[in-house]
Amino acid sequence: MKHLIDTADLSREQAELLLHQAEEMSRAVSGREVPKLPALRGRTVVNLFFEDSTRTRTSFETAAKRLSADVVNFAAKSSSVNKGESLKDTALTLQAMGADAVVVRHGAAGVPERLATWLPSSILNAGDGLRGHPTQALLDAYTLQQRLGRLDGRTVTIVGDILHSRVARSNVWLLNTLGANVRLIGPPTLMPRRIESWPAEVGYDLDAALPDSDAIMMLRVQRERMLGGFFPSEREYSLRYGLDQRRAARLPEEAPIMHPGPMNRGLEIASAVADSPRTTIVDQVTNGIWVRMAALYLLLTNGDDE
């Protein structure tokens, strides 16, 4: 495995290897006075972010540094891209600096694949357009395994703005590969075209889906991608698709409540639910570091750092 671009490309064996390696990273680093491993010493990881994302960029940066890699952060808003430099010229410039891996986030789908054709570096997709966010899906699967013990046969309900969510897309394919049943719930206006071709059940009634869900994942309503008209009002959206305490009580007792963050409190999730012990939101952030360490390690060393 040289690149990590789309969860749809992962075999079950590859996905399980990444999750197993994440567990190994957690065990190897936790409890150390200095939480670092020498595995990527001398390697250079470039974070190439054309979209703002403090959470994801910081997680990748922390993961690379815990593996002792050198890290270069590249923010497009303060770069030569603003002066008209093309994507290819930017990539080649960074490659000339000796990047072993490029972590890229871009508003257009397909940019990570294009970079993989231009550069000899390993490419890790940190979010491209509306298509994919594979490390987010992997950290979600890792968190679910921690809470549920296994994913085979489990039903995971993903709720909300499916249309604009690359997190939902990556999760559908990965969780299906790992043997889970995926259910998508949201307003009809926030469902993508041709969703019937996805390996997931689609529904519109959240209350009916709660009792037999083994886990629930609430999605952020992406106001910045909307021009209006997707639902009558935020109050109505919250009444029909928001997770409040009344609805959370209808979930099975052991079902974890997930959210990829950042949250719109009071819209897709109530504060009382977001702050409850049932949520995995903080665990997801921590697990993101183990998963990204695992991905960088496997892509750059093929599992052999000797």
72: left (phi over 0), alpha (psi -120 to 50) or beta: beta
* 2 has catalytic annotation: no
3-state helix, strand, coil in the chain (%, to 5): 45, 15, 40
* 133 has catalytic annotation: yes
Please tell me what DSSP assigns to residue 61: H
Q: How far apart are CA 135 and CA 127, in angstroms?
A: 9
- Selecting among 83, 117, 193, 194, the annotated active-site residue is 83
- Selecting among 66, 131, 133, 154, the annotated active-site residue is 133
Report residue 62 as tokens.
């922390």
Report residue 88 as tokens.
């290819």
* 83 has catalytic annotation: yes
88-112 exposure pattern, b = at least 16 Cβ within 10 A, e = fewer: eebbeebbeeebbbbbbbbeebebb
Main-chain phi, psi angles of 278, to 5 degrees? -75, -20
- Selecting among 57, 105, 154, 292, the annotated active-site residue is 105
- Selecting among 56, 90, 155, 177, the annotated active-site residue is 56
Residues taking part in catalysis: 55-56, 83, 105, 133
